[in-house]
Amino acid sequence: MTKATKGSQKFALEQELAPNTDPHWAEEFILTLRLDGVSGTHIGDALAVVDSHCADSAEHPQETFGSARTYARSLELPTDPDQGLKGVLTALAPTGVQLAGMALTLTSWTAHLEGNPFTLGWGALLVSVCFLTTVSAGYRYLGWILKHPWLTGALFSLTLGIGVVGSLWLDARETSALITLPALPCTIVGVAMLIIGTTLEVLDARIGTTENPIVQPLVSAERRTVDWRAVARAFLVPVGTIVLAIVPVLMS
């Protein structure tokens, strides 16, 4: 793959939405408004204004609009409640249900095969809390994260590392059991969570309940098509769960 092809793929969205605008400038403009919680409709409108002006004036956007970030903020576009933390959590809920179902299914299934009850330890709880805290903080401080990817990676690893080491220490203690339940019913609950999470993911990919695409003016929203790659991605977690659940059966 050539460097030019890679570049054109990277800026495919910017070139589609604003072909007369420098894609680097457009990228920063879109990113700034996205991080500020502006809706896709308003972003599409504002970007089309820039593109139209650049096409008429043959000027570089930096020359006539200045910094993409400063210009984006100067427009004072309204923020969309669906783009806030509540919206992000709603969007992430199906994946969260899937991952929780996967963890419950695999741990309880393994316990069932070994003839043991399902045990939720303090260690697992600690890892879950560390993971949820990291993910929530990630969405709250997304702008900072994009500016400091290496430091973010280090902090993320440190938090999860503390969780894993802490869980190992807690699990090594005999008093670490928090809840003990029959294994097979827990597996059934886990599978049900997987089915619910996957159904929600597929519905979202087909009708777009949580996404907020950038809409170009004069282009009908009816043009939206089903994102089949998103539909396929929805099945990654259940397929992975099935594969991981078969491994201990084959090994026994």
Partner 1 sequence: MLCTLSSLQDGPTYGYDIAAHLARAQLGTVKGGTLYPLLNRLEAQGLVHAEWRAGSGGPGRKYYELTVAGLTELDRLRDAWRQHSSNVTDFVYRLPHTTQETSS
Residues that bind partner 1 (CB under 8 A): 19-20, 45-46, 48-53, 55-57, 59, 61, 64-66, 70-71, 74-77, 217-218
- Phi then psi for residue 118, to 5 deg, are -80, 130
In terms of CB distance, is 77 or 181 closer to partner 1? 77
Cα angle 184-187-188, degrees, rounded to a multiple of 5: 90
In terms of CB distance, is 47 or 127 closer to partner 1? 47
- Output the smallest distance, CB 62 to partner 1, in A: 10
In terms of CB distance, is 67 or 136 closer to partner 1? 67
Q: How many Å apart are CA 180 and CA 173, to the nearest integer?
A: 15
Q: What share of the chain is helix, strand, coil (3-state, %, to 5)?
A: 75, 5, 20
- Phi then psi for residue 20, to 5 deg, are -100, 10
- Output the smallest distance, CB 74 to partner 1, in A: 4
User: How far is CA 235 from each of CA 61, 162, 195, 226, rounded to the nearest angstrom?
Assistant: 42, 31, 10, 16
- Output the smallest distance, CB 32 to partner 1, in A: 14
In terms of CB distance, is 66 or 182 closer to partner 1? 66
The type of residue at 52 is: S
- Output the smallest distance, CB 21 to partner 1, in A: 10
- Output the smallest distance, CB 56 to partner 1, in A: 4
In terms of CB distance, is 9 or 57 closer to partner 1? 57
Residue 117: closest CA among 204, 183, 200, 44:
183
- Output the smallest distance, CB 11 to partner 1, in A: 17
In terms of CB distance, is 19 or 84 closer to partner 1? 19
How far does Cα 199 stand from its chain's mean position?
17
Q: Count CB atoms within 10 A of the CB of residue 111.
A: 20
